[in-house]
Structure 1
Amino acid sequence: MAWLPKLARMAVLVLLLAFLLQPSWFEPLLRPLVQQNAPAIYNQGSLFWLTVLHLRTVFVATLAAAIVAVALAILVTRRAGAEFLPLSRSLVNIGQTFPPVAVLALAVPIFGFGEKPTLIALFLYGLLPIFENALTGLTTLPPAVMEAARGAGMTERQRLFNIELPLALPVILTGIRLSVVISLATATIGSTVAAKTLGEVIIAGLQSNNLAFVLQGGLIVAALAVLIHDALQALERFLSGRVRA
């Protein structure tokens, strides 16, 4: 029965693509959720392009967070940068200390309305899980492997790129997965400051008391989170298998 989860994920993917490309096919299912004469399918923009823009925002913010968080983890695991560990932890905890809504409120007066405040909020919110996992991955490497690398005459740079990062990659990817899933949901609030995300659909539904709109936005985000989570988890298992081999 191991094929059942794969079949379920494939069904979710097919349904998601069908809904984004041909939402009118699903109108009969959503019609009972709306008042008479109210639209059952979101009609204030393209659901497909809102999804693409939502994913782009999450990707850019997560990529920036991953670069900064992994760089910080590398710094504090070197002999010369170990003393910066407390400071680094304080920096990456900023995103968890301030709610994304508060970050948006502070960023809008500086950067204006649009995507930039959302990117900043998601970037700060995504730092902690990636940093902590990168730190764990780089500090729990097999001592025998590291000793063999030193014995082979590898420089610190060679050990980092040829041994440490490849071995730590599955653990780092776990942090990136957590960051992506958090950002997918959090990005919806970006629409409150005019960012183009799936939050537009949810907000439009709340403003017009249209449950179908709210359900569409929520289900698309949920489906994306499940599919991306499972894809990254599969990649982690693949990389872990290669590391053990």
Structure 2
Amino acid sequence: MSRRAVMIRLTALIMLLAFISAPNLFAPVFEPLTTNNAPAIYNQGNLLFLTMAHLGTVFSAALASTLVAVLLGVLVTRPSGVEFLPLSRSLVSIGQTFPPVAVLAIAVPLVGFGEKPTLIALFLYGLLPIFENTLTGLTQVSPLTLDAAKGMGMGPTRRLYEVELPLALPVILAGIRLSVVINLGTATIGSTVAAKGLGEVIIAGLQSNNTAFILQGGLVVALLAVLIHDGLMMFERLLVRRLGLGPAAA
């Protein structure tokens, strides 16, 4: 990343932190977007709290999706688990087959309103990219490399942890990054079932016809997506470089 790009990202981060910490300072910017003396800054909740709640939901779901998807990916790439590949692929595709709104509609009667149905929807929605990238990363490990590890006396478990997973790591991390970024935007629908998050700001704007609220919620989510995407990519490159595996997958 060039120095100019780094400066742009740093400026965006500073502006984002300033806005969610002291949004009233930006009221003059949003006032032209309001009508009938409507508030220029979202005033029905704390933006910093909503942002942290939004991120907490997304990363909690991402952690659960990662654990399940990677374990499934490992299972179906073992000789004893190959037969479960079609079933596993069908299961992880559920989140992409059914819209998150439909998952929420099914989950609410089962677990009630709040954060739980949103976590279920994001968990299901985030499985596919991580699973497919895990599958791709593990199956692309060279058979010659595995034979060499076997010749060194490594058993199946040791080969998995010391050879296969480290070599597949760049692709797996790219899948996790994609899953997190997708769910940052998808998580806004959680506010329709009373989950705390930035969707509250957008929905409040839609209900009151306040363009300023809609823009504020959308901008914060968009900036978070860009910054977290870049941050995770930098983490991938650093980790891969330290492991001596070459450039991370884009």
TM-score (norm 2): 0.95
Query: Is 1:138 paired with 2:138?
Result: yes
SS of the counterpart of 1:173?
A: helix
Aligned partners of 2:176 and 2:72: how far apart in 1?
15
Q: After the TM superposition, which residues 23-62 of structure 1 pair with which residues of structure 2 at under 5 Å, given as runs? A: 23-62=23-62
For 1:76-225, list aligned pairs within 5 A: 76-225=76-225
Structure 1 counterpart SS, 2:205 = helix
Where structure 2 has 5 or more consecutive residues not aligned to the other structure, the ranges are none
Quote the Cα distance in structure 2 between the aligned partners of 1:164 and 1:9: 34
Q: Secondary structure at the match of 1:63?
A: helix
Q: Aligned partners of 2:215 and 2:31: how far apart in 1?
A: 12
- Partners of 1:199 and 1:148 in 2: how far apart? 52
Equivalence for 1:234: 234
Which residue pairs with 1:243 in the alignment?
245
**d(CA) in 2 for partners of 1:57 and 1:2?**
32
SS in 2 for 1:41: coil
- Pair 1:69 & 2:66 matched: no
CA-CA distance at 1:98 after TM superposition: 0.4
RMSD: 1.2
Task: Report how far residue 208 of structure 1 moved.
Answer: 0.6
The answer to whether the 8 Å contact 1:202/1:217 transfers is yes
Q: Which runs of 5+ in 1 are unaligned?
A: none
Percentage of pairs with the same residue: 67
Q: Distance in 2 between matches of 1:10 and 1:55?
A: 19
Q: Summarize deviations over 1:108-140 as a string: whole Å, max 9, x none.
A: 111110001000000000000000000000000
The offset of 1:5, in angstroms, is 0.7
Looking at structure 2, the residues matched to 133 and 123 of structure 1 have their Cα atoms a distance apart, in angstroms, of 16
> Shift of residue 22 of structure 1?
1.0
The one-letter code sitting in structure 1 at the alignment partner of 2:183 is S
8 A Cα contact 1:169 1:239, kept in partner:
no
Following the alignment from structure 1 to structure 2, what is the Cα–Cα distance between the partners of residues 201 and 190? 12
User: Does the CA-based 8 Å contact 1:129-1:176 persist in structure 2?
Assistant: yes
Say if 1:65 and 1:127, in contact at 8 Å, map to a contact too: yes
SS in 2 for 1:243: coil
Moved more, 235-244 or 42-51: 235-244
The range that moved more, 119-128 or 229-238, is 229-238
Q: Which residue matches 1:14?
A: 14
CA distance in 2, matches of 1:6, 1:149: 40
Give the letter aligned to residue 114 of structure 1.
G
Distance in structure 1 (CA, Å) of the matches to 2:228 and 2:170? 16
Quote how far apart the aligned CAs of 1:42 are. Answer: 0.6
Question: In the aligned structure 2, how far is the partner of 1:173 from the partner of 1:49?
Answer: 28
For the residues of structure 1 that align with 2:208 and 2:174, how far apart are their CA atoms?
39
Measure how far apart 1:63 and its partner are: 0.5
The letter for the 2-side match of 1:244 is G
Give the drift of 1:143.
2.8
Q: Partner of 2:38: helix, strand, or coil? A: coil
